[in-house]
Amino acid sequence: MKFDSNPDRIIIFDTTLRDGEQSPGATLNVDEKIAIARQLARLGVDVIEAGFAFASPGDFEAINKIAQLVGTEDGPVICSLARASQGDIKAAAEAIAPAYHQRIHTFIATSDIHLEYKLRKSRQEVLKIAPEMVAYAKSFTDDIEFSPEDAGRSDPEFLYEILEAVIDAGATTINIPDTVGYTTPSEFGGLIKGISENVRNIDRAIISVHGHNDLGLAVANFLEAVQNGARQLECTINGIGERAGNAALEELVMAMHVRRKFYNPFLGRPAESEAPLTHINTQEIYKTSRLVSNLTGMFVQPNKAIVGANAFSHESGIHQDGVLKNKLTYEIMDAQLIGLTDNQIVLGKHSGRNAFRTRLKELGYELADQELNKAFVRFKEIADKKKEITDWDLESIVNDETQQP
């Protein structure tokens, strides 16, 4: 990706194959990773973090194959994660080498709690290692991302210092992770604002954000970060990832799509601009979600925003009646936008006569008013006993009613 410190769109960095695969029980084989990477490219993500090359031979191979097969000139940037050590960085560089657009993402922790208990290093030591390793990574490729791990719990003054040093050493993206999902939206937005105002050379790098969902706040934190200068969002399909997962790509993209008039001014555009905020082809969202769920074996909860089975279903009679008259009454986005054929009217005990009549019509039954009334009474009796009424149930209700003398 050509470095542009002021992109007019939000860069979508997908880490389904790296942080997403770190979900307990979600391991993928090489072919499955390639299939997901191809679909991510169709979805239009800007960067694919394909894995952690040093972690295992399987990870190395998957990154390397994705770099060959998906990392084409007009394809996404292919990235590998690497700790701030020469061995990791060299493995990352070798794994991504076949890609046309390559990125090395190196990280080291900066919070006192990680320094003391995990790294057993002082701030001064970390302040020396980080720029040295960024400079080393730069000897392989120009596109270098640096993450101060656990930034959400790090001292902001120390962050400013280390970020200045890594930008001077050549980092082109500085990624701010809320590694343990601890921050709240106003805190996280404030952290991004502080970085954009206090890091001397920030105009030479893109600010990125990465966040986990331990308090269910990752997407809200990211949206606040965009308002304060973040231009790259690191996310996963279906929000999979360590513990409670990462910020969900589909939620971020659709929030910014549906509310783009609100987000436009933060990108320096007129509020009325219709230009999309990301490169994502939203019509590929549902398909990508299903693929990731099927291959990882990670079930998507029915009430999950955007891609859950109930996200475009209407059960209550009042809602069904409204939607049949005009979708805008209870829908803020069209199901077709994410690649579904249409919303779903689910018939159950809360459904009303209008939804009942409409579904019968779709099944080819046009009942006279009296027949419809009787069939509707029977429908309600059955609906009280069953969770969901199927088309089979409807057909047998109609047949019973219309065959009675």
Closest distance of CB 340 from Zn ion, Å: 29
Q: Does 19 bind ligand KIV (CB under 6 A)?
A: yes
Element containing residue 360 per DSSP (H, E): helix 353-362
Helix/strand/coil for 168: helix
Angle at 282 between CA 235 and CA 64, to 5 degrees: 50
Ligand-binding annotation for 210, yes or no, is: yes
Closest distance of CB 242 from Zn ion, Å: 6
17 vs 311 by CB, closer to ligand KIV: 17
Ligand-binding annotation for 212, yes or no, is: yes
Q: How far apart are CA 216 and CA 183, in angstroms?
A: 10
Q: Which single residue is written with the structure tokens 């050590």?
A: 85
Q: How far apart are CA 149 and CA 27, in angstroms?
A: 23
In this structure, are residues 317 and 352 in contact, taking their beta carbons and an 8 Å threshold?
A: yes
Q: How far apart are CA 163 and CA 148, in angstroms?
A: 8
Q: How many CB atoms lie within 10 A of CB 310?
A: 13
149 binding partner (options Zn ion, ligand KIV, none; Cβ < 5 to 8 Å by kind): ligand KIV
Q: Does 75 bind ligand KIV (CB under 6 A)?
A: no
Q: Does 177 bind ligand KIV (CB under 6 A)?
A: yes
Element containing residue 290 per DSSP (H, E): helix 285-296
Footprint (CB under 6 A) of ligand KIV, residues 370-399: none
Q: How far apart are CA 27 and CA 11, in angstroms?
A: 26
Q: Does 401 bind Zn ion (CB under 5 A)?
A: no
How many amino acids of this chain bind ligand KIV (CB under 6 A)? 9
147 binding partner (options ligand KIV, Zn ion, none; Cβ < 5 to 8 Å by kind): ligand KIV
Helices 30-43 and 57-69: crossing angle, nearest 10°?
40
Q: Does 149 bind ligand KIV (CB under 6 A)?
A: yes
Ligand-binding annotation for 279, yes or no, is: no
What's the alpha-carbon Rg for the chain, to the nearest Å? 25
Q: How many CB atoms lie within 10 A of CB 20?
A: 27
177 vs 189 by CB, closer to ligand KIV: 177
Ligand-binding annotation for 314, yes or no, is: no
Q: Which single residue is written with the structure tokens 């101060």?
A: 148
Q: Does 149 bind Zn ion (CB under 5 A)?
A: no
Q: How many CB atoms lie within 10 A of CB 153?
A: 17
Closest distance of CB 235 from ligand KIV, Å: 12
177 vs 322 by CB, closer to ligand KIV: 177
**Residue span 10-39 as binding mask against Zn ion, x where in contact by CB under 5 A, dash where not:** ---------x--------------------
Closest C-alpha to 46, from 11, 72, 4: 11
Closest distance of CB 55 from Zn ion, Å: 14
Helices 156-168 and 185-198: crossing angle, nearest 10°?
50
Closest distance of CB 121 from Zn ion, Å: 20
Footprint (CB under 6 A) of ligand KIV, residues 181-210: 210
Q: Does 339 bind ligand KIV (CB under 6 A)?
A: no
Closest distance of CB 244 from ligand KIV, Å: 12
241 vs 339 by CB, closer to Zn ion: 241
How many amino acids of this chain bind Zn ion (CB under 5 A)? 1
Distance from chain centroid for Cα 176: 16
Point out which residues bind ligand KIV (CB under 6 A): 19, 81, 107, 147, 149, 177, 179, 210, 212
Residue list for the binding site for Mn(2+): 19, 210, 212, 246
